Amino acid sequence: MKKFVFVVIPTIENAYHSLKDFVEIAIPYGMASVAGVVEKLGYEAVIIDGDAENLTFQDTIERVIRENPDFVGSTCMTATMDTTTKFYDKLKESLPACKVIVGGPHVSALPTRTLRECNSIDYVIKGEGEEAIEELLNGMENGIDPESIKGLCFRKGERIVETRPREPIADLGKLPIPAYHLLKYGLYRSYGWNAWTSGHRKPLGTMFTGRGCMGNCNFCASQAVFGHSVRYFPLQRIKEELDILVEKYGIKILYFEDDTFPANRNVVNKVCDYIIEKGYHRRLEIMVSSRTDTAHLPTLNKMRKAGVRWICFGVESGNQRILDIMRKNTTIQEIRDAFKKAKEAGIYAAGNYIIGCLGETYATAVDTIRLACELEQYYASFSVAIPLPGTDLYRHCVEKGIKLPPWNDFGSVNSPPIAFNDSLDAGKLMELRRIATNRFFKRPGYILKLLRTFNAMTVLKDFAKMYFSLRREIKENRF
Ligand code: B12
Ligand code: SF4
């Protein structure tokens, strides 16, 4: 039986440094989903998760070598691309015949460039991987020319061939349940602040009710994989996956990772009804992400009944002109209303904010910080804009000839930040990120609110730990 090894190359240390204990160790959902297809085709599938298993780069390579696979693959984000290249260059020294197949948002946006930059990668899968991998593996078995398979990029002699784009998967219901049984499930954990509510960070489950987003924000790379349409899993499939995660894996925290969970009220209501009917709302702390303009009070009320405790809103900016340039299609009033509705429904709101997008000035960034401090929210994350391949921000940098750093520096916590606005250099961007974090988290009223609302000991411990972690980051000139 041929073997396919999926690898999470460890990058959490490089991405988050001293802050790594606070972030999620995420289930490699995309790879688990592709692994489910590969198993169904009759291959042996293995997942080695270097971050979850706390492996070093070298340990991870050795683990793959011991498996001696026929195929090996990973998900590539821009920030993990350089490490991926190093990893597969090294691996191929020991396993020259093993075929390396990669997918994910970075390589979907820049397939040809990926192959030019990394000799060790044999195939790039552009977009969703489930149908493409099936056709590629079957094609290899049957001697079919990969040039006839959509959504691929590969080498043919001296040439790099990029085939026609593949349409988004029309019927998500036909996808097998992700191969969760290949993961060491107990190792995955939520963001630190989830523990304030229930004391738990694990076991964590992640799910999607659908794929894609109706938005078209100029900084967002989501469409590189999923395109612009939103497609939903059939209700039966969502119920089945929920049952497996709760009954078999005993999850306590559940993230619905949909780009905008409450967008389709019909789906949300049915999913919530099922969670309540099965009594899962008593066992789970659920977190969802959302645009602000899709917040709808009756739907939020239903979500709260079903155990949704946290909602993360993509606010992005506190300045209407910047929101318009972002094509966020929301207003400051809608943002304020969304936070009010979440409060009314009894769901803890958190906000994601971006500093340094196109058109940003010092004054507009201050508007963002001011709005973040005014809104009724329990957590906020301030990141500096990254010109991710596939987005307008990236195209802007290419058109203007702005020098971009190595891919390794395309993480929002990496420093120095990438400056692409005339009015804000890297130093100013770091200063604004620091001011935002200090202003937001050091407000006595905010800290008191957290202590009154959540488990005070857990909050205090986290704040103390965060204080020392940030001091280390400042010392290393990263914050
Ligand atoms: C969960 C998540 C995380 C998790 C882990 C990601 C993971 N396990 O893949 C955590 C919290 C760690 C994370 C961190 C970051 N993230 Co993130 N994250 C996500 C999120 C919300 C969901 C990922 C997911 O599960 N998607 C669902 C699955 C089905 O899609 P998929 O992973 O793309 O997989 C499909 C295909 O790509 C392909 N495929 C993928 N891998 C493989 C492998 C093989 C062999 C094959 C054949 C096919 C294949 O097939 C899959 C099934 O169709 C996405 C948003 C999104 N819409 O995807 C952002 C997203 C991936 N993150 C993003 C970013 C920018 C980051 C950070 C840089 C942010 C930061 N704070 O600095 C960091 C980088 C961390 C690092 N290690 O350096 C961007 C990536 C864009 C880019 N070009 O890099 C996204 C797209 C968000 C966005 N809208 O822009 N993230
Ligand atoms: S609404 Fe969110 S997921 Fe959708 S395009 Fe905008 S940033 Fe991306």
Q: Which tens digit of pLDDT belongs to each residue from 59-95?
A: 999 999 999 999 999 999 999 999 999 999 999 999 9
**CA gap 51, 12 in Å, rounded:** 6
Are residues 157 and 220 part of one domain? no
Determine the distance separating the centroid of ligand 2 and the alpha carbon of 230, expressed in angstroms: 12
**Domain end among 115, 144, 162:** 162
The atom number, within ligand 1, closest to the CA of 51 reads 77
Predicted confidence (pLDDT) at residue 422 exceeds the cutoff of 90: no
Task: For residue 126, give Cα distances in angstroms to 102, 167, 319, 381.
Answer: 9, 10, 35, 30
Predicted confidence (pLDDT) at residue 343 exceeds the cutoff of 80: yes
Nearest ligand (C-alpha, residue 38): 1
10 token code pair: 């460890």
Could you tell me if residue 183 is inside a domain? no
**With the C-alpha atoms ordered 399, 81, 470, 256, is the resulting torsion angle positive or negative?**
positive
Answer yes or no: is the C-beta of 213 below 6 A from any ligand 2 atom. Answer: yes
Relative to beta strand 231-232, strand 210-211 is antiparallel
Residue 228 banded pLDDT, cuts 50, 70, 90: confident
Are residues 384 and 422 part of one domain? yes
The atom number, within ligand 2, closest to the CA of 214 reads 4
Q: For ligand 2, atom 4, which residue shows the shortest CA distance?
A: 215
Are residues 228 and 84 part of one domain? no
120 token code pair: 């060790």
Predicted confidence (pLDDT) at residue 478 exceeds the cutoff of 90: no
Predicted confidence (pLDDT) at residue 414 exceeds the cutoff of 80: no
384 token code pair: 């500096």
Q: For ligand 1, atom 83, which residue shows the shortest CA distance?
A: 106
Q: What is the mean pLDDT of residues 196-200?
A: 90
Residue 129 banded pLDDT, cuts 50, 70, 90: very high
Are residues 252 and 135 part of one domain? no
The atom number, within ligand 1, closest to the CA of 386 reads 65
Are residues 139 and 242 part of one domain? no
Contact 368, 319 (CB under 8 A): yes
pLDDT above 70: percentage of residues in the chain: 100
Nearest ligand (C-alpha, residue 357): 2
Nearest ligand (C-alpha, residue 33): 1
**Domain end among 162, 180, 206:** 162
Residue whose entry in the numeric block shows the structure tokens 């972690």: 469
Could you tell me if residue 320 is inside a domain? yes
4 class by beta-carbon count within 10 Å (0-12 exposed, 13-18 middle, 19+ buried) = buried
Could you tell me if residue 174 is inside a domain? no
Determine the distance separating the centroid of ligand 1 and the alpha carbon of 300, expressed in angstroms: 26
Could you tell me if residue 180 is inside a domain? no
CA proximity to 178, closest of 230, 240, 234, 227: 240
Answer yes or no: is the C-beta of 78 below 6 A from any ligand 1 atom. Answer: yes
Please count the structural domains in the chain: 2
**Interval 254-289: pLDDT, tens:** 999 999 999 999 999 999 999 999 999 999 999 999
pLDDT, residue 368, reads 98
Predicted confidence (pLDDT) at residue 412 exceeds the cutoff of 80: no
Determine the distance separating the centroid of ligand 2 and the alpha carbon of 223, expressed in angstroms: 9
Predicted confidence (pLDDT) at residue 198 exceeds the cutoff of 90: no
Q: For ligand 1, atom 46, which residue shows the shortest CA distance?
A: 103
Are residues 194 and 145 part of one domain? no
Could you tell me if residue 178 is inside a domain? no
Are residues 464 and 331 part of one domain? yes
Got the DSSP string for 225-266? HH-S--EE--HHHHHHHHHIIIIIT--SEEEE--TTGGG-HH
Are residues 195 and 148 part of one domain? no
Are residues 215 and 105 part of one domain? no
Instruction: List, in sequence order, every beta strand (DSSP E) within 89-245.
Output: 99-103, 123-125, 152-156, 159-162, 204-207, 210-211, 231-232
Nearest ligand (C-alpha, residue 314): 2
Are residues 199 and 156 part of one domain? no
The atom number, within ligand 2, closest to the CA of 221 reads 8
Determine the distance separating the centroid of ligand 2 and the alpha carbon of 208, expressed in angstroms: 15
Answer yes or no: is the C-beta of 291 below 6 A from any ligand 2 atom. Answer: yes
Could you tell me if residue 250 is inside a domain? yes
Could you tell me if residue 66 is inside a domain? yes
CA proximity to 286, closest of 263, 268, 264: 268
Mean pLDDT of the chain, nearest integer: 96
pLDDT above 90: percentage of residues in the chain: 92
102, β-bridge pairs:
74, 124
Q: What is the CATH number for 56?
A: 3.40.50.280
Instruction: Tell me the whole-structure pTM to 2 decimals.
Output: 0.97
Answer yes or no: is the C-beta of 221 below 6 A from any ligand 2 atom. Answer: no
Could you tell me if residue 357 is inside a domain? yes
Predicted confidence (pLDDT) at residue 14 exceeds the cutoff of 90: no
Predicted confidence (pLDDT) at residue 336 exceeds the cutoff of 80: yes
Q: What is the mean pLDDT of residues 352-363?
A: 97
Are residues 354 and 449 part of one domain? yes
Predicted confidence (pLDDT) at residue 232 exceeds the cutoff of 90: yes
Q: What is the CATH number for 240?
A: 3.80.30.20
Pocket test for ligand 2, best of 211, 214, 217, 322 (most atoms within 8 A of CB): 217
Q: What is the mean pLDDT of residues 202-222?
A: 96
The atom number, within ligand 2, closest to the CA of 291 reads 1
Determine the distance separating the centroid of ligand 1 and the alpha carbon of 450, expressed in angstroms: 30
CA proximity to 256, closest of 205, 186, 191, 320: 205
Nearest ligand (C-alpha, residue 326): 2
Q: What is the mean pLDDT of residues 9-35?
A: 94
Are residues 205 and 137 part of one domain? no
Nearest ligand (C-alpha, residue 317): 2
Determine the distance separating the centroid of ligand 2 and the alpha carbon of 235, expressed in angstroms: 23
The atom number, within ligand 2, closest to the CA of 220 reads 8
Domain that holds residue 231: 189-475
- Output DSSP code: residue 1: -
**Domain end among 112, 146, 162:** 162
Q: For ligand 2, atom 1, which residue shows the shortest CA distance?
A: 215
The atom number, within ligand 1, closest to the CA of 412 reads 72
Pocket test for ligand 2, best of 213, 325, 391 (most atoms within 8 A of CB): 213
